Amino acid sequence: MSAELLSDFYPAIRTVDRLTDVARLGLDREAERPFLRPHVERVAERLDTPYVIIDVLLNDAQVFLAELGPIPEFLQEAGGTPLEWAFCQPLVTERAPRTVPDLATDPLFRDNPLVKAGGVRSYAGAPLVSQSGHVLGGVCGLDVEPRPFSQGDLVFLKEIADEVVVLLEERADRP
């Protein structure tokens, strides 16, 4: 059921304009982005989550721009996940921070392999919105326990997301 629900986000994720913006910023290529490390560390400290990811959503994949936590080796080697595993998909259409206190009971994500086998149980994320107005991906904190996140946490994530976009846009202008 959840795969069918998530496919509703694919048209928005796969628009040519959004994917062109992703490419303009060079986010469609694997690259080390150590300048994002302080941001994932700040999110981990503020949200007290074992996992933090800054990601971009491509046509068929979620690519990690920066991550923190015991990410499984196969995901580290791949540099991300298949698109259908990405908890940040709804950010593209909702365009606002969101939280899922218990992914195991959420209709969108309860069948996600990262929930069923990976033990991820709660999510809080904010969209990365480019200067062109496209949602590129997100900044998120993930926990292994079901839990609520506060409105203050979501405001903080939005601030971090805005800072990350400024850094990505600045680097896109460099030769």
pLDDT in tens, 108-164: 999 999 999 888 999 999 999 999 999 999 999 999 999 999 999 999 999 999 999
The pLDDT, as a whole number, for residue 31 is 77
Strand partners, 29: none
Q: How confident is the model at residue 173 (pLDDT cuts 50, 70, 90)?
A: low
Cα–Cα distance, 132 to 138 (Å, whole number): 16
CA dist 60 → 74, 123, 151, 153 (Å): 17, 21, 31, 29
Q: Phi, psi at residue 172, to the nearest 5°?
A: -70, -25
Inform me whether the pLDDT recorded for 47 exceeds 90. yes
The pLDDT, as a whole number, for residue 30 is 74
State the chain's mean pLDDT as an integer: 91
Inform me whether the pLDDT recorded for 53 exceeds 70. yes
The pLDDT, as a whole number, for residue 1 is 38
73 or 89: which leads in pLDDT: 89
Strand partners, 122: 143
The pLDDT, as a whole number, for residue 70 is 82
The pLDDT, as a whole number, for residue 34 is 93
Domains belonging to the chain, first-starting first, are 2-172 (3.30.450.40)
Nearest to 89 by CA among 6, 2, 21: 6
Q: Over pLDDT 90: what percentage of the chain?
A: 78
Cα atoms in the 13 Å half-sphere on the side-chain side of 93: 12
The pLDDT, as a whole number, for residue 76 is 75
